[in-house]
Chains A and B, each alone.
Chain A
Amino acid sequence: MLVTDEVTLAYREADRVVLAVDRVSVEVKQGEFVGIMGPSGSGKSSLLYLMSGLKLPTSGEVRYRNRVIHLLSERERMQLRRREFGFVFQQPYLLPYLTALENVLVAVPGDREAYGRALELFEQLGLSHLANRYPHKLSGGERQRVCVARAMVHQPQIIFADEPTASLDHINGHAVIRLLADYRERGAVVVVTHDPEMLADADRVYSLRDGRLVQKVHV
């Protein structure tokens, strides 16, 4: 479904070239929950950005359903992200002037059918009573669950989650991971984290250090 082939991401820092991701090859299959682990600065977020088309590789390629992402036009990449990918970021950012439900529908503006799906998601995620609340009246865990709903509402093929539990307590963190893991029934999930406990249920875990793949674990 999604493959990175010897993918590298380099950037210049002062007079030296830093390899944030160094010739990494990973694979995400349909129905999989894939974890990417590593300490801070190991390049796991950069790899996620490369996989999701948010960054383009310096060398190597990322293929999604046999399409090389960096060969797509910007418009096509945007379309890919909007329609086929879903994102959950470390900080559960919601548009402050929209209610929880409206924040979810930001991913699918003008889609009346999505309204029903969003309500169903709220039901599944235990957020129904919060649909009309503004972000400042939600707890961190509730906000992140709304972000998960936002990533799922357009029924993407892959959800990319970058440290989705970093700002949450243990219980809320596990709840969010559970929701994401369940999504593999409909597509695939890629979760970046430094906490191995969160990947206990993963189908496959890649471990990175200094931008390099150091371990691949099939669970």
Chain B
Amino acid sequence: MQTAEKREAIPPISAATNPLSAWLFFRRNLSRTAPVALVIVLSVVLIGTVVTIIRSIDLTVLTVYGYNRYFLVAVPRNGNRVDPRAEMTIRAEPMAKQIYRISVCFTNIHTIFGKFPFVLFGLTQEEMPKMLRLTRMKLVEGRLPREGEAACALSVGIARNRNLKVGDVVLAPNIEDSFAPVPVKLVGLLDGENWFAVTSKEFVQKNYFPPLEEIVVAAPTPDQQPELDRRLSKALDKRQVRLFTFGQLVRELRSSLRNLYLIMNIVIAIVVLVIAIMMGMLSNIFFMQRLPEFALLAAMGYTRGMLLWRVVRETALLVALGWTVGVLLSMGILWGLYWWVFEPRGMLLQPMDWQAYQYTVPVPIAVLAFAAMSVGPRLLAMDPVLVIERKV
């Protein structure tokens, strides 16, 4: 019994043999280490969530207009139809495997940064299944619109975004941002990797003025589409047609978001700098509080390199834990946002956007660097005897 009591009183060898371990210091000084870790957690959460939400603009645009990967659209410049000379050039292009003359009308979808126009492709009955195959969509509920019918089929994502179900009116004379001369009902739901919408070409041509006719051109495979886009962009006279290609969409998106990303990067840099300076100052204060400890260790024969390495290890553990918890917390918040806010409204967000989390990496690196830079010189200048004579 006595032996058992004695054994209980003695700390386990694993903890005792490495009393200067960073983990032990972290655990035993939670009142000091936890607030610092919390600041890192909060800054990582701030950066991680904001960047992910901002990057959802890219995601939204590239998903909503992602169908453009599979074909280009030639829109007339000077009339209701594409100039015959331009159409001849398109038809003469050997890579143009599928060519459809279409008419379009528009609805609006909701995004976190406002309403976005979305195209309803007016197609003939024969063209509709072909276009769905081309864009890798399939009908999952209801049916496709009939010839001349005031009806449409939409992606599940668009229906959720607009809070619509089969039988509801999508376009109508009294809906300002989704106008149609007559009410257009939703008759079918589509599903696939993109968002897509089809309606009857005859209906569009009879009810919209002017009845524009555009041309859709698809390459034999999606991989060949960029090459076809390039060839037609070169071959066609821009005064006759305007081409909408996926590459151009991406370029325009990048260009329009450049300033937004620049502002975001500046804000992140400021946040990182402020946090790093703050942490550096805190490290300094904590170092001053622990000066007797470092002086004692130096007197006992720990080199300054060993002591600095100890500070670096402790800070590294702190920032690594703070960063990890921050990333996990960001993911939790973003998944919550996704399930409770974005998904029910058909808005796009990627909670596991690793590129967004890359923006948080400078936080731990800068904090570690500032802590080492602020404590290092003090450690090098420390005279253990002076400290010992005063305090130890």
Contact = CB atoms under 8 A, between A and B. Distances in A.
Contact of A81 (B16, B28, B301, B392): B301
Contacts of B385: 49, 54-55
A98 B296 CA distance: 14
A128 B303 contact: no
Contact of A109 (B17, B384, B389): B17
A114 B391 contact: no
Interface string A13-25: 0000000000000
Nearest to B305: A75
Main secondary structure of the interface of B (DSSP, over half): helix
Nearest to A81: B301
Interface in B1-55: 6, 9-11, 13, 15-20, 24-25, 28-29
Given A78-B302, A83-B301, A99-B11, A54 B19 contact: no
B11 A87 contact: no
Contacts of A128: 6, 9
A131 interface: yes
B150 to A, nearest CB: 76
Nearest to B388: A89
A80 B17 contact: no
B299 interface: yes
A55 B17 CA distance: 30
A119 B11 CA distance: 10
Contact of A131 (B10, B297, B300, B392): B10
Contacts of B389: 45
Contacts of A129: 9
A112 B392 contact: no
A95 B16 CA distance: 13
Nearest to A119: B10
Given A54-B384, A98-B19, A132-B11, A87 B29 contact: no
A129 B5 CA distance: 10
Interface string A78-120: 1111110101011101010111011101110111101100110
B302 A112 contact: no
A101 B10 contact: yes
Nearest to B32: A97
A185 interface: no
A87 B388 CA distance: 12
Nearest to A83: B301
Contacts of A95: 19, 293, 296
B292 interface: yes
A169 B384 CA distance: 27
B303 A78 contact: yes
A171 B16 CA distance: 30
A195 interface: no
A75 B303 contact: yes
A93 B292 contact: yes
A78 B9 contact: no
A93 B17 contact: no
A74 B300 CA distance: 13
A214 to B, nearest CB: 23
Interface string A184-217: 0000000000000000000000000000000000
Given A45-B389, A87-B299, A89-B392, A112 B25 contact: no
Given A54-B384, A97-B28, A98-B28, A81 B19 contact: no
Nearest to B30: A97
Given A54-B384, A99-B11, A106-B297, A91 B392 contact: yes
B234 to A, nearest CB: 69
A132 B10 contact: yes
A8 to B, nearest CB: 17
7 contacts: A79-B301, A82-B300, A89-B388, A97-B29, A106-B297, A109-B19, A110-B17
Given A78-B301, A97-B24, 17 more contacts: A49-B385, A81-B299, A89-B388, A93-B391, A95-B293, A97-B28, A101-B11, A105-B16, A106-B19, A106-B20, A106-B297, A109-B18, A110-B17, A110-B18, A112-B13, A115-B16, A131-B10
The 10 closest A-B pairs by CB, nearest first: A82-B301, A81-B301, A97-B28, A102-B19, A93-B392, A78-B303, A78-B301, A89-B392, A98-B19, A105-B19
